[in-house]
Amino acid sequence: MTAQASPEAAAIVRVRVPSPLRSYTGASEVAVAVPLLAPELPPTLGGVLASLDGAYPGLRFRIIDEQGHIRPHIRLFIGNTATRDVATPIVSGEWLMIVAALSGG
Amino acid sequence: MARAPVAARKAPARLTRILIATRKGLWTLASDIARNGWKLGGPQFLGHVLHHAIADPREPKLMLAAARTGHLGPTIFRSQDAGRTWKEAQKPPAFAHGSDRVVDHTFWLTPAHRDEPGVFYAGTSPQGLFRSADGGATWEGIEGFNAHPQRKTWCGGEQDGTPDGPKMHSILVDPRDPRHLYIGMSSGGVFESADGGADWHPLNRGVRADFLPDPAPEYGHDPHCVRFAGGNPDRLYQQNHCGIYRLDRPGETWQDIGAAMPKSVGSIGLPLVVHPNDPDSLWVFPMDGTTVWPRTSPGGRPAVYRSRDGGKSWKRQDQGLPRSQAWWTVKRQAMTSDARDPAGIYFGTTSGEVWGSRDEGRTFRCLARHLPEIYALECA
């Protein structure tokens, strides 16, 4: 399912969703349309998460705290590269993978 | 200031329903009129950490549950059909952006005054105070506390909190005045506001803090659970890290009522429960607070202690409870009473059992077992 925005003004980012968040998305993979400020400027991770929250309200706060930081047990990968910086760019067509890190008890 | 007492009201007989918030989800116990047969329901939110779940006494079909998971951040779920279905809050409690503080979990939920339908308070870990005016759908910080210039001095840092994180709890709303509030903080102490939370002052005189260099400071104490006396909001009881106390307003000095507990048991515990309409009756559940603080029932022999005279004397109540080798304890939100006559007393254990008494603690029996660690019990 792709959420919101017209194709010419948005980048499409595909997102892999871990099981703890599927109550929001209803699916293990979703695609979000992220509005572009300008054609040459790719969206950032923060923009993708904002679009994801627009499509699935409440999801962002479960993985990003109120100070804008990624929560301790959440890992985010763009392609195969891990990042904890919400300013990291994502190009259209790339995968964002949200991982609920291994932790038990 | 002294206020008029609240008339005691005897509740009519009705079904008793208990909300059981656990480390792994929410269960319910429902009784018949006689409180003899009990039926366990659930789980809901399986795998979620539920620190508290309450029903709104002003609108009993409205329920709130404070949840997080091991991985995900904290949120609030709301039910408008007595717990059949739940919907997430649109804006859960969160500190102001730029404050450098992050809500780890919502620990305590309190319905506001009966004349303020839909208003609730939430206390968080670390210590933060939040208010909802729309039945728990959206929450705003009470900046009179959260941004108070003294807050950090009152609460200390992470190292001053409990092993499970510093907490705000025991949010009490004066039934005669919606703007008159009390809060308890571990650590921080008991504080009072006369203006709906715009400002606060400490209220800890007489309470020991023997873990601090100054054993009688103005703040920095560790109250575990604070309650209004049944039918008399001019009296407060407190189970503290350093004993059991009573405060009769407008006085400002707490009286040590734990000194009358048996020395072999001590006066350390987490929960405290009051009788629904007898201001002299209260119950505590002592735990072992010696050496490294095992936080088990003393000697592996769990018991409730009841006072019927405002804490001047205590009586052990353990009929029906295990006689030996029972090393559980009861967390601060995991003990409650119903509003029936005689009052029912219920507690949930760290080992996942619910015990109940329908005769004010004279006899107990196990109502449920094999649940996850129990964090909170509330009668709905």
Q: Categorize the per-residue pLDDT at A105 as very low, low, confident or very high, splitting at 50, 70 and 90.
A: low
CB B124 within 8 A of CB B117: no
The mean pLDDT value for B125-133 works out to 98
The mean pLDDT value for B298-317 works out to 98
* ipTM greater than 0.95: no
Q: What is the pLDDT of residues A68-79, one digit of tens each?
A: 999 999 999 999
Chain A CB within 8 Å of residue B46 CB: no
Q: What is the pLDDT of residues A77-96, one digit of tens each?
A: 999 999 999 999 998 889 99
Q: What is the pLDDT of residues B237-255, one digit of tens each?
A: 999 999 999 999 999 999 9
CB–CB contact B73 A103 (8 Å): no
Distance of residue B7 Cα from the nearest chain A Cα, in angstroms: 43
Residue with tokens 């008159």: B180
The mean pLDDT value for A51-56 works out to 97
In one-letter notation, the amino acid at residue A31 is A
Q: Kindly report which listed range (A5-9, B44-48, B156-160) carries the lowest average pLDDT score.
A: A5-9
Q: What is the pLDDT of residues B135-194, one digit of tens each?
A: 999 999 999 999 999 999 999 877 777 778 899 999 999 999 999 999 999 999 999 999
CB–CB contact B69 A21 (8 Å): no
Share of chain B above pLDDT 90, in %: 89
Question: Taking all residues of chain B, what is their mean pLDDT, rounded to a whole number?
Answer: 95
| pLDDT value, residue A40 | 80
Domain boundaries A2-100, CATH class: alpha beta
Taking CB atoms and an 8 Å cutoff, what residues of chain B touch A103?
70-71
B6 pLDDT more than 80: no
Residue with tokens 């409650």: B336
| pLDDT value, residue A101 | 80
Domain assignments of chain A as residue spans, ordered by start: 2-100
A1 pLDDT more than 80: no
Pick the more confident residue, B12 or B272: B272
Q: b/e string for A11-49 if b means 16 or more Cβ within 10 A?
A: bebebebbebbeebbeeeebebbbebeeeeebbbbbbbb
Nearest to A73 among B70, B75, B88 (CB): B70
Q: Kindly report which listed range (A23-27, B129-133, B287-291, B348-352) carries the lowest average pLDDT score.
A: B287-291
- The model's pTM: 0.93
